[in-house]
Chain A
Amino acid sequence: MHVAVASGKGGTGKTTIAVNLALALAEKIPVQVLDCDVEEPNAHLFLQPVFQQEEPVTLPVPEVDNARCDGCGRCSEACAFHALAVAGGRVITFPEMCHGCGACIAACPQGALAEKPQRIGVVARGRAGRIDFVQGKIDVGVPLAPPVIRAVKKQARGEGLTLLDAPPGTSCPVVAAVKDCNFCLLVTEPTPFGLNDLRLAVGMVRELGIPFAVVINRSTLGDLRVERYCRHEGIPVLLKIPFNKKYAATYARGKCLVQEYPEWAPAFAGLWREIERLVARHAGIAGN
């Protein structure tokens, strides 16, 4: 089963929830963690995996064969991303704008364009105890996160639980991460920012048709509007973690709640049971 941990607002505790859930379950079922926050991946800081393999992620960008190109400009007309231009009868490419869609290649009547792989990031795979760990990382200066996220997701094993730590926001990188998951946990905080961004995130998962539930982190540092919203919308709140300076210090040092405060392990095991129940219920509804 694929479960994404997403949030809308950044810094609400996505990574905290993902790594603690992974650690709480790893003794019982096969667990894989995919860190899909490829701009700022953090899960490795807490799980401390030993990386065994690393592969570059590439994007197919156009390369011009000047012997064949007659400068007709069909490629630059076809490109929706302004990654090609014609100047002085010659085609110039801007690989940093390219989305790797292949439209320019198809549009060229001379067969003067070929695709060459351009590195945009890296996917690393390793182990953290019993947890299979994969993370993606875009190279600094590269704008396009979704292809690296797709490359991370290709490493999914498809047994037991695959947990995806999603990037913040509600736009294309998040959609790339959450797409095709069986369930999405939305982590929020009880502040006006948390509520506003939770509403947006709920809109996104609804659009994707993925069953979801909410976790409220630092639940004592704010007000009750998030809970009221969830009740009104019929969204289950599966877990609340109160603010505690000791928990904050644990996180600051890169340590995990279920390891430093084992009394939290049953809560995460319970979270998993609730997710299984909700996924089964959703499948039942979808099946009817």
Chain B
Amino acid sequence: MQELLVISGKGGTGKTSIVAALAALAEDKVLADCDVDAADLHLLLRPEVESVNEFYGSNKAVIDVRICTGCGRCLEVCRYEAIKEFRVNPVFCEGCGACKLACAAGAITMEPNLAGYWYISDTPYGPLVHAQLGIAEDNSGKLVTLVRQEARRLAQENNASLIITDGPPGIGCPVISSLAGVTLALVVTEPTVAGRHDLERVLSLASHFKVPVTVCINKYDLAPEKTREIEDYCHNAAITIAGKIPFDIDVARALVNAVPLTACSSGAAARAVRALWDSLQVHLERLKKSLS
């Protein structure tokens, strides 16, 4: 079983639209959405939810006012400014338990915290594992790990040969949890100064975790000279460009109608995604051979 992860560094470069478009092309696969704090893939895949499961993040401190003597030790030790007037604000509490250790009266307990939900769903394009982290919750990395575990379990059950994962933006905790041990990371970038800057950071993260990468330049024709810069950069770093997708109004249309691009358009962008998928299959095949 292979895992293809789609990431970008910069947000809004088109990860989710590309994952949905690939989902409509690939066979025998399981889909996963690891962008757990702003999950959007389900909007394009119209899932029928088969199971809803609770996700517990870090515990949260609770002060029992009947036992609290008001000594203030908890306030002193909390490094997250989570305690004010002997009440814990769960939004800022990281669940470290330092306050509980410091409380001489034993007034503080650490309580489990329902931090979100994860789902297994059926879609016209195959099974999907997705999640929704509660608003202002932490521990997205732990939820990402859970989504990936379930996707792998489901892929084994269904004899699926591939997992396609929509990753989160950035290079922090949820991206690191998404990246560890995947077969191939497809980095979607855009020809802008910000796209290029963020591409370099996310590529060095992938290389830090020794994950093979390939790049896709989305809306490449909006700034041809920036596209050339990115191509030169990748060429010098010995990184392949798996595809280039032109700006095409069909992409926005597909998004507004909530359908994968490749299921509703035969325009320039849809054709480019098909070519991208051909190139990704060659990549994945090569990686399979290099392992065996």
A binding-site residues for B, Cβ under 8 Å: 7-12, 15, 37, 39-40, 42, 45-46, 78, 80-81, 99-103, 106-107, 138, 140-145, 167-175, 179, 191-193, 196-197, 200, 203-204, 207-208, 221-223, 245, 248-249, 251-254
Distance in Å from the Cβ of A58 to the closest Cβ of chain B?
Answer: 13
Q: With A140-B204, A168-B169 known to touch, is A204 a contact of B197 (CB < 8 Å)?
A: no
B176 touching A252 by the CB < 8 A rule? Answer: no
B121 beta carbon closer than 8 Å to chain A: no
A252 touching B172 by the CB < 8 A rule? Answer: no
Residues in A with CB closer than 8 Å to B176 are 141, 143
Instruction: Give bound CA distance, A142 to B208, whole Å.
Output: 11
Distance in Å from the Cβ of A97 to the closest Cβ of chain B?
Answer: 10
B binding-site residues for A, Cβ under 8 Å: 8-13, 16, 37-38, 40, 43, 58-59, 77, 79-80, 91-92, 94-98, 101-102, 110, 133, 135-138, 140-141, 168-173, 175-177, 190-194, 197-198, 201-202, 204-205, 208-209, 222-223, 226, 252, 255-256, 258
B13 touching A11 by the CB < 8 A rule? Answer: yes
**Smallest CB gap from B170: residue in A:** A39
Residues in B with CB closer than 8 Å to A207 are 91, 135-136
Can you report 21 A-B residue pairs in the complex whose CB atoms are below 8 A from each other?
A: A7-B11, A9-B40, A11-B12, A39-B171, A39-B175, A42-B198, A80-B95, A103-B101, A140-B205, A169-B37, A169-B140, A170-B133, A171-B138, A172-B137, A173-B172, A193-B43, A203-B135, A207-B135, A223-B256, A251-B192, A252-B192
B172 touching A138 by the CB < 8 A rule? Answer: yes
B136 touching A204 by the CB < 8 A rule? Answer: yes
Residues in B with CB closer than 8 Å to A173 are 170, 172
Q: Given A8, A100, A102, which contacts B38 in the complex, CB threshold below 8 Å?
A: A8
A145-B172, A168-B170, A193-B255 given; name 10 further pairs at CB < 8 Å. Answer: A7-B11, A11-B169, A40-B170, A107-B101, A138-B172, A140-B201, A141-B208, A141-B209, A145-B173, A254-B193
Instruction: Give bound CA distance, A203 to B132, whole Å.
Output: 13
Distance in Å from the Cβ of A285 to the closest Cβ of chain B?
Answer: 21
Residues in A with CB closer than 8 Å to B170 are 10, 37, 39-40, 145, 167-169, 173
A252 touching B226 by the CB < 8 A rule? Answer: yes
Residues in B with CB closer than 8 Å to A138 are 171-172
Q: With A11-B12, A193-B43, A249-B222 known to touch, is A200 a contact of B79 (CB < 8 Å)?
A: no
B98 touching A106 by the CB < 8 A rule? Answer: yes
B255 touching A191 by the CB < 8 A rule? Answer: yes
**Smallest CB gap from B16: residue in A:** A193
Distance in Å from the Cβ of B15 to the closest Cβ of chain A?
Answer: 9
